[in-house]
């Protein structure tokens, strides 16, 4: 089968298009013939060695397609069934991937494969952030960085559907249009304006209830500074680089602030939790409350170009590979 393999840590050029033996259906899992493989920022951290991973490996943690084979002991999923998944292992940038049943989500007839794929890693992330990490309520003010990105566009929409006021940050005017269309009340182009200053102008001395920060190094300090007393900083990524060690006294000085660094794995601990989040997301799409915007779909062989674009902040919404 065709796949993308990484033999050494490095730039996008280490993403090599190869012909390798396909995996088989694992015990307790299924083999998925993929029509779409998701690209996520974590794929960049793994390729560059920010998160160490044994070499060589086929990157990619997300996909959608049809069950090709069912492993030993699996019940309730059949060959030919449409499924999607996100799993905390590798193997996604390929025609076929072996997926543990715990992460397999049956896809309803009215949800297309690309949408289903987009809702797995980035959708479930936006879901747990808005519903569990900081449960947004009507009237809560949320600051959301990188709001035109994969997670960002979904998080803005879910936050709005829960009645929150959303202040969004984006890198360009074009991205601002997308964030606004997703429902953001105010949008700051943080490449040109100091988002902390603008946020204070917008909400006064009160500050925001929660800052969802996936940009990290370049933003965390000012995200912390615009929280209201007892507000929460949710650092869930570091697209600009990792956040340095934080002095806990800063949380007292800011007004008994909360700080958390959540990961998807801790919010998808059981199959029921995975299926529950997927069900909610599919329902939101069906009700017209959520749109998974596919920013670009690249041929599998162009994975390097796709990751180059992602790192260069040149993309919006969900990026897919088409095997």
Task: Return d(Cα 194, Cα 199) in angstroms, integer.
Answer: 9
Q: How far is the CB of 283 from ligand NDP (least distance, A)?
A: 21
Nearer Cβ to ligand NDP (20/50): 50
**What are the structure tokens assigned to 285, written together?**
């799409």
Nearer Cβ to ligand NDP (195/282): 195
Q: How far is the CB of 78 from ligand NDP (least distance, A)?
A: 30
Nearer Cβ to ligand NDP (166/239): 239
Q: How far is the CB of 169 from ligand NDP (least distance, A)?
A: 7
Q: Tell me the chain's radius of gyration from C-alpha atoms.
A: 20
Q: How far is the CB of 106 from ligand NDP (least distance, A)?
A: 22
Q: How far is the CB of 81 from ligand NDP (least distance, A)?
A: 26
Nearer Cβ to ligand NDP (185/218): 218
Tell how strand 29-39 and strand 318-322 pair up. Answer: antiparallel
Task: Return d(Cα 266, Cα 189) in angstroms, integer.
Answer: 32
Q: From residue 268, how far is each of 2, 42, 104, 175, 271 by CA, in Å? A: 30, 17, 12, 30, 7
**Largest Cα–Cα separation, the chain:** 60
Nearer Cβ to ligand NDP (223/315): 315
Q: How far is the CB of 218 from ligand NDP (least distance, A)?
A: 6
**Chain centroid to CA 56:** 24
Q: Alpha helix locations (H) across the chain?
A: 41-48, 113-118, 124-128, 150-161, 173-181, 195-203, 220-225, 249-253, 271-286, 303-311
Q: Residues of 227-238 as b/e, b for ≥16 C-beta within 10 angstroms? A: bbeebbbbbbbb
Q: Are residues 45 and 66 in contact, defined by beta-carbon separation less than 8 angstroms?
A: no
Binding residues vs ligand NDP (CB under 6 A): 40-42, 121-122, 125, 146, 148-152, 170-171, 175, 214-215, 218, 236-240, 262-264, 310-311, 313, 315
Q: Alpha helix locations (H) across 149-254?
A: 150-161, 173-181, 195-203, 220-225, 249-253
Q: How far is the CB of 319 from ligand NDP (least distance, A)?
A: 7
Instruction: State residue 207 phi and psi, 5-degree precision.
Output: 80, 180
Q: How far is the CB of 102 from ligand NDP (least distance, A)?
A: 17
- Burial-class residue 308 by CB neighbours within 10 Å (0-12, 13-18, 19+): middle
Q: How far is the CB of 139 from ligand NDP (least distance, A)?
A: 25
Nearer Cβ to ligand NDP (60/237): 237
């Amino acid at each position: 089968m065709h796949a993308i393999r990484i033999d050494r840590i490095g730039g996008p050029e280490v993403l090599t298009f190869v012909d390798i033996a396909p995996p088989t259906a694992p015990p307790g899992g299924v083999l998925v013939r993929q029509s779409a493989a998701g690209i996520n920022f974590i794929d960049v951290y793994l390729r560059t060695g920010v998160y160490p991973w044994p070499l060589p490996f086929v990157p990619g943690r997300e996909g959608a397609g049809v069950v090709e084979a069912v492993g030993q002991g699996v019940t309730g999923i059949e060959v030919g069934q449409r499924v999607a998944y996100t799993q905390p292992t590798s193997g996604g940038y390929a025609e076929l991937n072996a997926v543990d049943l715990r992460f397999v989500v049956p896809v309803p007839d009215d949800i297309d494969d690309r949408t289903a794929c987009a809702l797995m890693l980035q959708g479930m992330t936006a879901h747990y952030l808005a519903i569990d990490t900081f449960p947004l309520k009507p009237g809560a003010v949320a600051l959301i960085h990188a709001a035109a990105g994969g997670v960002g566009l979904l998080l803005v929409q879910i936050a709005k559907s829960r009645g929150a006021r959303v202040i969004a940050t984006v890198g360009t005017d074009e991205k601002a249009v997308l964030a606004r269309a997703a429902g953001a009340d105010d949008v700051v182009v943080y490449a040109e304006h100091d988002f902390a200053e603008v946020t204070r102008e917008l909400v006064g001395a009160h500050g925001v209830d929660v800052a969802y920060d996936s940009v990290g190094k370049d933003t965390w300090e000012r995200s912390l500074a615009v929280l209201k007393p007892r507000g929460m900083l949710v650092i869930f990524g570091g697209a600009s680089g990792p956040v340095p060690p934080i002095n806990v006294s800063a949380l007292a000085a800011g007004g008994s602030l909360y700080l958390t660094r959540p990961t998807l794995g801790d919010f998808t601990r059981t199959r029921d939790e995975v299926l529950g989040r997927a069900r909610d997301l599919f329902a939101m799409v069906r009700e017209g409350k959520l749109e998974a915007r596919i920013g670009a779909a690249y041929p599998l062989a162009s994975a390097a170009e796709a990751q180059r674009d992602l790192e260069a902040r040149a993309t919006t919404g969900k990026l897919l590979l088409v095997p």
